[in-house]
A = this chain, B = another copy of it.
Amino acid sequence: MKKFNLLIITAIALSLMFIIACNQKDTKTVSYAEDRAQIEDLQARYLFALDFFDLDTYVSTFTEDGELDIVEYKVKGRDAIRKAIEESRAVFDHSASTATGRHNITNIVIKVEGEKAYGRSYWFHYSNDNPEKKAVFDGYGHYEDEMVKVNGQWLFSKRVIYNEGVEKWMGPTKNPAW
């Protein structure tokens, strides 16, 4: 009877070991692809929110104390970010006209270090604010991002935006990626 009990305890101990082993393996193995997939989605949702002037969604892509840094303009915290974009409504809000403007992201470089991530990517813009609704390519620059994972969700803790069309907002000449 004693031997039998010992075996049952051994079996339960082994069960726990297997479950822990399996879980640890998973968590470690999937990280880069899983983190990158979520960050790519964040990056895309950010731009839809900006171009369609959806400020609730826009500010929700930042952490509560996130920073938006457009070189000359630096704001910190969701409320301040909302205020800054509100003040630029004339630039971003196309809902009152038939013209549209769209920011695009490409060349997304992402480095993940645990719950923190670093991003470098290109952005460019086009619009059709003319009587014929002709597509016009009209601006570009790059992003330098810091992101953190909050309750399993990636958010911007800092986004720096360089713009090659405005002399004061141009980026560095040294490769900002790695």
- Chain A residues packing against B (C-beta within 8 Å): 3-4, 7-8, 10-11, 14-15, 17-19, 21-23, 25-27, 29-30, 32-34, 36-38, 40-41, 43-45, 47-49, 52-54, 57, 94-95, 98, 100, 102, 104-110, 120-122, 124-126, 128, 133-140, 164-167, 170-171, 173-178
Contact = CB atoms under 8 A, between A and B. Distances in A.
- Is chain A's interface secondary structure helix, strand, loop, or mixed overall? mixed
B19 A177 contact: no
Contact of A45 (B14, B124, B140, B178): B178
Contact of A124 (B34, B104, B133): B104
Report the 3 A-B pairs with minimum CB-CB distance, sorted nearest first.
Answer: A52-B175, A54-B175, A48-B177
Nearest to A57: B175
Contacts of A47: 107, 122
14 contacts: A3-B4, A8-B10, A30-B34, A41-B110, A43-B107, A44-B107, A48-B107, A48-B120, A52-B175, A104-B106, A124-B126, A128-B165, A134-B165, A135-B139
Contact of A40 (B10, B26, B34, B108): B108
Contacts of A128: 140, 164-165
Contacts of A134: 165
Contact of A140 (B14, B37, B109, B135): B135
Contact of A30 (B29, B124, B164): B29
Contacts of A26: 25-26, 29
Contacts of A171: 100
A165 B164 CA distance: 24
B164 A44 contact: no
A177 B30 contact: no
